[in-house]
Amino acid sequence: MSSQDNDQDTRAVAVVLISAILLAIGLAVGTGIQKSRAGAGPSAAATPAPAAEASAAPATEAAVAAPVGAAADDDDASIVVENGVVKFYFASGKADLAPGAAEALSDAVAAAKAGKKLVLSGFHDATGNPAMNAELAKKRALALRDALVAVGVAESSIVMSKPEQTTGSGDDAQARRVEVEIVD
């Protein structure tokens, strides 16, 4: 066996080992990211999903009692339920609802059909042009209103309420939200 063959064998083994190490690191990082997204927030119960249009499928009485929960992420739309308030978080500059909107709103839809009012309040982050942010917060609230109407809620049961302070609390991802609250 020549010295040149040994060098080629050594290189092949090195390439295989380096590839295996990179694969293991990639898997570890991916698993860590997935776990951190799934475990973020006090009421998180599901992994966040990318921004998408709200489903137009009607919510039924048999819909999931505990709505979809996901922590807000900088570039993802998500839904969280805290103390009976459904919070829809939005990606920066977008008004697209997270998937699972109909399921997350099942309790609110049932309450509206039973005669209660749903109050929608839109908030925005503090970055960028304030006038454009206010308009985007309004578009987000209107998108949520349209989703509620699409699942059978009468427009007369929906109250659009512009908060006195439209800049939301929390970090930018948490500030970009529309809240749905059930009132008598």
pLDDT in tens, 136-148: 999 999 999 999 9
Task: Give strand ranges (E) for 15-172.
Answer: 78-82, 85-89, 117-123, 158-160
Residue pair 51/98 in contact (Cβ under 8 Å)? The answer is yes
Topology given in CATH for the domain delimited by 78-183: 60s Ribosomal Protein L30; Chain: A; (3.30.1330)
Contact by Cβ (8 Å): 166, 137: yes
Which amino acid is located at 133 in the chain?
A: N
CA 14 to each of CA 1, 7, 18, 22, 51: distance values in angstroms, whole numbers, following the listed order: 19, 10, 6, 12, 42
Higher-confidence residue of 141 and 23: namely 141
Tell me the per-residue pLDDT of 118-128, one tens digit each, with 9 for 90 and over: 999 988 888 88
* pLDDT tens digits along 139-179: 999 999 999 999 999 999 999 988 766 666 667 778 889 99
Q: Where are the domains of the chain?
A: 1-39, 78-183
Q: What is the pLDDT of residues 63-98, one digit of tens each?
A: 333 334 444 445 678 888 888 889 999 988 889 988
